[in-house]
């Protein structure tokens, strides 16, 4: 596939002229930075163009569906309208819609989206305590918005629930992990499902979440943290969203993150026990995601035994680990 040609074709559907394309990456999507020509000392306007075609074809293609992509952009539009958070702002095409379907030659039709570029830099190390606090505050503000936002009738996004967790576990059959490791993960999943069932899906604990707010998807601009890449957003538990981010933080940063979160939105009294369940759940769902890509199997074979022998065993024995083990 000639991604550059497809990107240029997609841009003809937007009110953008004299644009330059800079290829960024190909992972879940093919991404380009788009810059309009500068004039009279004015900085060029920048955009992010996404072609929704993953590098590793997966059996679950829900993420590439038109209405699912459109729903992500509906949330981003609502965040831009309702809050002062700096998030990618979707750009409508000439037809007044967010998702543009494009094809070249006899290739399959692909969905494309365009958003305003968000300035900022990723951090190459663990965040400082202050940065971790800011990231927690940011997540709380996202949750605060979705907890009161009236969803559009057309809104459709995947769910991070017990069914998805069990599906992720089954995907590990694609990887030749040991029967013993699989049994430990399976036991953990059964226990986590009980936690999810007890929580229910009330508006106080369940809603639209970012689901992927890690060091690749938050940036800092003039000491302000900003969330980017909402492509994995979906319905889930707010505490699951928190746990997913805490996977990537050192123990001391986890505490700072939670302090930042609770400066905006209080957590339930028993949040630590629930977070530990969702911490394991987030790991398993992450493993399941990577299991669809054969290039990731060596990584999984190396890391899954470590997780089952340390974190999973402690979780199943009721031994706290969230603030003690990284």
CATH number at residue 217: 3.90.1200.10
Indicate the range of 48-57, 131-140, 238-247, 282-291 predicted with least confidence. Answer: 48-57
Written as six digits, the tokens of 299 are 């990584």
For residue 42, the model assigns a pLDDT of 52
Say if strands 46-51 and 100-102 run parallel, antiparallel, or are unpaired: unpaired
Whether 144 and 279 share a structural domain? yes
Would residue 323 count as lying in a domain? Answer: no
**In-domain check, residue 231:** yes
What was the pLDDT predicted at 54?
A: 87
- Shared domain for 165 and 295, answered yes or no, is yes
Which residues have C-beta within 8 Å of that of residue 34, sequence separation ≥ 6? Answer: 11, 16, 19, 20, 21, 22, 46, 47, 48, 49, 114, 117
Would you state the pLDDT for residue 324? 86
Residues 173 and 299 in one domain: yes
User: Each residue of 143-181: pLDDT tens digit?
Assistant: 999 999 999 999 999 999 999 999 999 999 888 899 999
Residues 226 and 181 in one domain: yes
Measured between alpha carbons, how far is 61 from 263 in angstroms, rounded to an integer? 38
184 with 274, same domain: the answer is yes
| Boundary-marking domain end, from 116, 150, 174 | 116
Chain-centroid distance of CA 250 in Å reads 19
- Identify whether 249 is part of a domain: yes
Between residues 18 and 95, the one the model is more confident about: 95
Of the candidates 137, 148, 163, the one whose C-alpha atom is nearest the C-alpha of residue 264 is: 137
pLDDT tens digits along 108-140: 889 999 999 999 999 989 999 999 999 999 999
- Does one domain contain both 134 and 112? no
**Do 141 and 61 share a structural domain?**
no
> Do the Cβ atoms of 157 and 208 come closer than 8 Å?
yes
Is residue 247 within 8 Å of residue 282, measured between CB atoms? yes
With tokens 């003809």, the residue in question is 12
pLDDT (0 to 100) of residue 213? 98
Is residue 122 a part of any domain in this protein?
no
pLDDT over 80 at 264, yes or no: yes
Q: Spell out the residues 6+ positions from residue 128 whose beta carbon is closer than 8 angstroms to its own.
A: none
| Host domain of residue 24 | 3-116
Instruction: Dump pLDDT digits (tens) for 201-232.
Output: 999 999 999 999 999 999 999 999 999 999 99
Out of 116, 141, 173, a domain closes at: 116
Total-model pTM: 0.94
- Does residue 239 share a domain with residue 311? yes
Whether 39 has a pLDDT exceeding 60, the answer reads no
**Summary mean pLDDT of the chain:** 93
Q: Is residue 124 included in any domain, yes or no?
A: no
Tell whether 96 is covered by a domain.
Answer: yes
pLDDT at 66: 95
Q: Are residues 17 and 61 in the same domain?
A: yes
Q: At 37, which CATH number? A: 3.30.200.20
Q: Residue 221 falls within a domain, yes or no?
A: yes
**pLDDT at 122 (0 to 100):** 95
Q: Are residues 10 and 153 in the same domain?
A: no
Comparing 33-42, 43-52, 153-162, 289-298, the range with the smallest average pLDDT is 33-42
Is residue 273 domain-shared with residue 151, that is, in the same domain?
A: yes
State how many domains the chain has.
Answer: 2
75 within domain boundaries: yes
Q: How confident is the model at residue 57 (pLDDT cuts 50, 70, 90)?
A: low
Say yes or no to pLDDT of 44 above 70: no
Model confidence at 190: pLDDT above 80? yes
Q: Examine the fold and report which residue of 116, 144, 173 is the final residue of a domain before the chain moves on.
A: 116
């Amino acid at each position: 596939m000639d991604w550059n040609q497809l990107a240029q074709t997609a841009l003809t559907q937007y009110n953008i002229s004299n644009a330059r394309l800079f290829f960024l990456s190909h992972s879940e999507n093919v991404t380009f930075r788009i810059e309009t020509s500068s004039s009279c000392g004015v900085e060029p306007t920048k955009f992010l163009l996404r072609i929704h075609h993953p590098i590793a074809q997966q059996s679950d293609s829900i993420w590439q569906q038109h209405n699912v992509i459109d729903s992500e952009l509906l949330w981003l539009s609502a965040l831009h309208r309702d809050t002062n958070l700096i998030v990618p702002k979707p750009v409508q095409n000439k037809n007044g819609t967010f998702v543009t379907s494009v094809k070249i030659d006899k290739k399959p039709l692909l969905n494309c989206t365009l958003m305003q570029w968000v300035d900022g830099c990723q951090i190459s190390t663990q965040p400082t305590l202050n940065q971790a606090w800011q990231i927690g505050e940011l997540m709380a503000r996202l949750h605060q918005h979705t907890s009161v936002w009236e969803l559009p009738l057309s809104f459709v996004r995947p769910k991070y629930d017990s069914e998805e967790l069990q599906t992720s576990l089954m995907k590990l059959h694609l990887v030749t992990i040991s029967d013993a490791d699989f049994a430990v993960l399976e036991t953990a999943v059964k226990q986590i499902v009980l936690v999810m069932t007890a929580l229910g899906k009330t508006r106080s604990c369940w809603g639209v979440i970012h689901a992927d707010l890690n060091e690749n998807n938050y940036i800092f601009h003039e000491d302000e943290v900003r969330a980017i890449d909402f492509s994995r957003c979906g319905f889930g538990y707010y505490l699951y969203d928190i746990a997913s981010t805490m996977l990537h933080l050192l123990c001391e940063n986890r505490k700072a993150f939670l302090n930042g979160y609770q400066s905006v939105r209080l957590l339930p009294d028993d949040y630590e026990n629930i977070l530990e369940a969702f911490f394991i759940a987030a790991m398993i769902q992450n493993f399941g995601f990577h299991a669809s890509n054969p290039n990731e199997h060596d990584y999984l074979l190396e890391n899954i035994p470590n997780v089952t022998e340390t974190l999973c065993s402690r979780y199943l024995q009721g031994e706290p680990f969230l603030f003690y083990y990284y």
